[in-house]
Structure 1
């Protein structure tokens, strides 16, 4: 659908509209009194979310990010599916799967009783996806923009054979200073260390709060449903509540890693941390024919307690 058709079908006066964004992508702009947000049909991705009264956006998007068909957008909340990280069967394939590179359909937009705005995106298999991954599926991403931001991904197996997936909500959170950052809730969790200088198959156990003072690239297992990011530099706490996920990835590439990525500024490592709700590593999800599985997260900004 083009912009006129989308606005005719789904726009909400003074609340939600479809506009042309960077790279010619379709953006959805939401301002409902509870929050402002920007979504895009490219990858069903949330690019921005700022609740009413908040000084800063919840999310980070790189100024060097690329926009266009088949391009990943570095920031916001990308959807990683049907594999998270490298495809274990064919490691040289596109990292984090193809869902974030595809154009999704808008299926519904609603105003909820509390004033929040709900948007539902859909994606189904076609010849292009079969060339990459030979399964029949339906995907839905539901985004609720209100006093909190909620993102839910549902996978339905539309075929007659079971299939396995790994997946994730690859959230990039804006931060003020990594030196003043702590991630709480991971104490005692085992992790796989994927940092550049870590030995192959390195493992560890988190002790206390996680601090970011160098490259961090860890897959945590046995993670509780609530994690908290304390950001003293921005004087705020980000509360992350996950559903149907027991693994979590924490990533910051640090300076050398950012410098190696063309869609990050060399100083961007100071501006974000990824704390990702995932099913990854040992948490592989098998879906039987005609059945569905779901993963989701709710994000809330609160003032940091003094």
Structure 2
């Protein structure tokens, strides 16, 4: 993308600018009185967010994460769409869908009345997307950067038939001490355990979730608000989901992290994914000319 042209159309003096990043990716840098953030037009993806009152960034992106057009960036908040995980219609297709691999077009950058910054990007069906998924759609992500953070993903069905999608905001949260970390709010929720020997084994969560090994779970019938207690960074992260009753918690642990080329061996200690999703049994049906929005709000509470 032409950063000069983008800045001329969408730039906000002293607040928002487009720059060329590593690997030639187009980056959006935001610095307003309330927070700083970094986004990329590849995948409409948020990579960093830090309110002015916080000691550390909310999100994790590893040093070895890909910075190459067409490759997924492990970290920040990748957008998984139009399927989450493996495509049930074709398990050989790219995991978590194609939306995070394609270039999105900015459509709005503005300063809001409260001093926050709003960015909207759009991905519209074309010959390239139809080769991966034969449907017409318009997909929009709206990211609002202020004292709190919000991410909203809206699917517009431009097709003649009902669209069935699973999707997710695959948030990677930076943490300080995995051993003491607790994910709060899932007590009593059933989950599919994809890390267990018996794949997709249904289990019920007892108490808060701690991490002592690989975690790869889809929780069902979850409350709209969850939190991550991280004594290592002295904070609690609040997650408020919208139009989601499923949640994914993921940490690859030692062996899986070592097998991933885009993670350092010890990176598993530095993040936890708590993802606002529509997954497993929560398949979203969107009628022709209809729309559906999956969203999450994030807030850091310093302790």
Q: If the TM-score is normalised by the length of the shorter chain, which range does it land in?
A: over 0.9
Deviations 1:182-236 (A, max 9, x none): 00010000000011x4312311000110001110000000011000100001000
Aligned to 2:52: 52
Instruction: Please list the CA deviations of residues 48-69 of structure 1 after superposition, one character each: whole Å capped at 9, or x if unmatched.
Output: 0000021110000011101122
Deviation at 1:4, TM superposition (A): 0.6
TM norm structure 1: 0.98
Mapped to 1, the partners of 2:149 and 2:216 lie a distance apart of: 25
- 2:197 and 2:236 mapped to 1: Cα distance? 30
Matches within 5 A, 1:269-284: 269-284=268-283
Taking the TM superposition and a 5 Å limit, the aligned residue runs for 1:103-182 are 103-182=103-182
Q: Secondary structure of 1:135's partner?
A: coil
**SS at structure 1 position matched to 2:23:** helix
Counterpart residue number, 1:204 = 203
**1:18-97 residue pairs with structure 2 within 5 A?**
18-97=18-97
* Unpaired segments ≥5 residues, structure 1: none
What CA RMSD, in Å, does the superposition of the two structures yield over aligned residues?
A: 0.7
**Does the 8 A contact of 2:54 with 2:302 survive in 1?**
no
Q: How many corresponding residue pairs? A: 303
Query: SS at 1:277's partner residue?
Result: strand
Retained in 1: the 8 A contact 2:185–2:226?
yes
After TM superposition, the score normalised by the length of structure 2 is 0.99
Distance in 2 separating the partners of 1:200 and 1:280: 16
| CA–CA separation in structure 1 for the residues paired with 2:52 and 2:280 | 37
Cα displacement (A) at 1:70: 0.9
**Residue 137 of structure 2 contacts residue 155 of structure 2 at CA under 8 Å; is this kept in 1?**
yes
Deviations 1:24-67 (A, max 9, x none): 00000000010000000000000000000211100000111011
- Deviation per CA, 1:264-295, whole angstroms, max 9, x where unpaired? 11100100000000000000000100000110
Q: Distance in 2 between matches of 1:249 and 1:30?
A: 28
Which secondary structure state, in structure 1, belongs to the residue aligned with residue 138 of structure 2?
strand
Determine if contact 2:31/2:37 at 8 Å carries over to the other structure: yes
Query: Match of 2:164, SS?
Result: strand
Q: Which 4+ runs in 1 deviate beyond 6 A?
A: none
Give the distance between the partners of 2:288 and 2:257, measured in 1 at CA.
41
Provide Cα deviations, 1:142-168, integer angstroms capped at 9, x if missing partner: 000000110000001001111100000
Q: How far 1:92 moved relative to its partner? A: 1.1
Partner of 1:183: 183
For the residues of structure 1 that align with 2:42 and 2:130, how far apart are their CA atoms? 19
Q: Is the 8 A contact 2:175 2:233 kept in 1?
A: yes
